[in-house]
A = this chain, B = another copy of it.
Amino acid sequence: MKNCIIAQSGGPTVAINASLAGVIEECLDKNAYDHIYGSLHGITGILDDHIIDLGEKVKNDTLFIDHLKHTPAMYLGSCRYKLPSLDKDASVYEKIFDYFEEKEIVGFYYIGGNDSMDTVLQLSKYAKAHNKDISIMGVPKTIDNDLCHTDHTPGFGSAAKYIATVMKEIAYDTSIYPVPSVTIVEIMGRDAGWLTAASALAKTSYGLGPDFIYLPEVSFDKELFLEDVKEKIKTKRNILIAISEGIHDADGNYISASGTATDSFGHSQLSGAGKALEYFIADEMDVKVRSVEINLPQRCAAHLSSATDLCESAQLGRTSVRAALEGHTGEMSVIRRCSDAPYQVAYSTEAIEKIANEVKNVPRDFINEQGNDVTEKMLTYLRPLIQGEPAITYKDGMPEFASLSHLY
């Protein structure tokens, strides 16, 4: 028997299940495996012997794949488990590969972001070192768009489309009162400003939309920020500002109203950059000011996903399977952009060593000189990624998603 296991890890997006669908579809099209298993809650499902048979699921539920492609979060559940380094604790690795042998697994597909690709790196290293006959492949996923060696990442285009659309709607909402106002919208993005930059797509020809955009790639100066706002409000009544949650001063201190707890990967857990600036403006200016966090919907609003993003996410899943069947291992599928207009991409794979634990920030020339807006280069990069609205089915006025009952 030749079987495979698919798992998902990291933070949710609206496209990661499209990648799962792509992996499953390619496995079935190529008739590559006897069993297509899904490990629940990432790598921990393998450690806890908690897997399901996805091939059976597809057989028994003809609409499953269609619904899966539009289902937010993770059908297989997630985890925040970081593998111990091999020299510190080999037993976890032995347990995982014993399980692979027991289940006759020759292909392992891990769909996730930066930290998940580290797991792919460690497992593929171990497999090579111990001559294990298994292909360990990564499929990218992150709304943050901060993975290297791929033009962009699955989930980003949909998050960008949601952020741009909601920013446009907020711009409409905040422009109707004849009193000066400042609205600060805080957008996800700890180290990379890609998501916040997407708010620039909301700009209209007559100046509605974000007036200033501040990304973590440029040090944030509160005094220059105050000058920007004071100058702008002389000519525009209602000012809209987009900021990344991760903006920080020149010394690297986050502009934040809250503490700095850290997750298991050592990332600071942020909140409140918007609040902090709201209080700052309220102290310094006589103007109506409010801050808004778009919050969880920017990573789970499947009802407004990008058809381009969902299609590419599925293709990246298929690409990893094709590469595995050709004998590749320790690689992640990537997107190469061939042209902006017409928008054309090509799919391939890259060695995981190049990708894991690396972060792709916004290039400086995608940000204007003053560091308070993005350039045309950024808009040219972003525009194709939000194109198209997927045909989501609604039932009783609500979008239909695949059931997560198996996670309960």
Interface of A toward B, CB cutoff 8 Å: 12, 41, 44, 71-74, 77-80, 161, 164-166, 168-170, 172-178, 201-202, 204, 206-208, 236-237, 292-297, 299-304, 306, 383, 386-389, 394, 396-399, 401, 403-405, 407-408
Contact = CB atoms under 8 A, between A and B. Distances in A.
A166 B294 CA distance: 12
A293 B296 contact: no
Contacts of A208: 404-405, 408
A390 B170 CA distance: 20
A169 B303 contact: yes
Nearest to A161: B397
A236 B80 CA distance: 20
A294 to B, nearest CB: 8
16 contacts: A12-B176, A78-B177, A79-B177, A168-B398, A170-B296, A170-B297, A172-B404, A175-B408, A202-B398, A293-B295, A294-B297, A303-B304, A306-B397, A387-B396, A387-B397, A389-B394
Contacts of A204: 403
Contacts of A383: 396-397
Given A169-B303, A297-B166, A73 B176 contact: yes
A169 B403 contact: no
Contacts of A174: 296
Contacts of A386: 396-398
A208 B78 CA distance: 17
Contacts of A401: 168, 172
Contact of A302 (B169, B202, B292, B397): B169
B207 A166 contact: no
B44 A178 contact: yes
B77 A170 contact: no
A127 to B, nearest CB: 26
Contacts of A398: 161, 164-165, 168, 201-202, 386
Instruction: Report which residue of A303, A396, A399 has the largest number of chain B beta carbons within 10 angstroms of its beta carbon.
Output: A303
Contacts of A78: 176-177
Contacts of A295: 292-295
Contacts of A178: 41, 44, 77, 79
A111 to B, nearest CB: 13
Contact of A296 (B71, B292, B303, B388): B292
Given A204-B403, A206-B403, A292-B295, A169 B397 contact: no
